Amino acid sequence: MKYITSGIFFLFFTTIAICQTWVTGKVIRIADGDTITLLDENKQQLKIRLYGIDCPERRQDYGMIARQFTADRCFRQVIRVEIKQTDRYGRKVGIVILPNGKNLNKELLKAGLAWHYLSFDHSKEFADLERNAKQKRRGLWRMNKPVAPWLYRKHAA
């Protein structure tokens, strides 16, 4: 029984490790604060949407600031991305790890330049980072009534 249990755990963790996909590449384009394009090791362009967050749109308050924040940290840099899924637009959705080892998704939340995208992520850590930025009135949380990007897109359509 002990060997069967050990075997099941081994298969479970091996499967998890196989399912986690990492991509490494050089960032060649910044569309906005939460969408970048990288050139991977095979010289393929991959559009990456940052997982669990939603930055203001480019024409929205703080949209260009969020875009510049992302550009300052990763444009023309080699980054690693943990791919979580592919979205309905064919973009890879993932966690971006910067050359200095920091998590770009978290850095945007800490700076008050992104909302925790609860429709897609329920992590306590992302919720806490957003709450902390709000309490400290960082970034877009300085505004009286910031409009979430999903509401902005809905009314702009």
CA–CA separation, 70 vs 36, rounded Å? 9
Report H helices in 20-148: 63-74, 104-110, 124-135
Residues 6+ away with beta carbon under 8 Å from 133: 109, 110, 111, 112, 139, 141
CB 83 within 8 A of CB 92: yes
Q: Which helix (H) or strand (E) holds 47?
A: strand 45-50
Distances in whole angstroms, Cα of residue 119 to Cα of each of 19, 52, 75, 115:
22, 8, 28, 11
| Active-site annotation holder among 57, 73, 107, 130 | 57
**Rounded to an integer, what distance in angstroms lies between the CA atom of residue 39 and that of residue 79?**
10
The one catalytic residue among 41, 49, 59, 107: 49
| Set 67, 91, 107, 137: catalytic member | 91
Per the annotation, the verdict on 29 as an active-site residue is no
Residue 91 annotated among the catalytic residues of the structure: yes
80 has catalytic annotation: no
Which of 155, 22, 9, 136 shows the shortest CA–CA distance to 78?
A: 22
Q: Which residues are catalytic?
A: 49, 57, 91
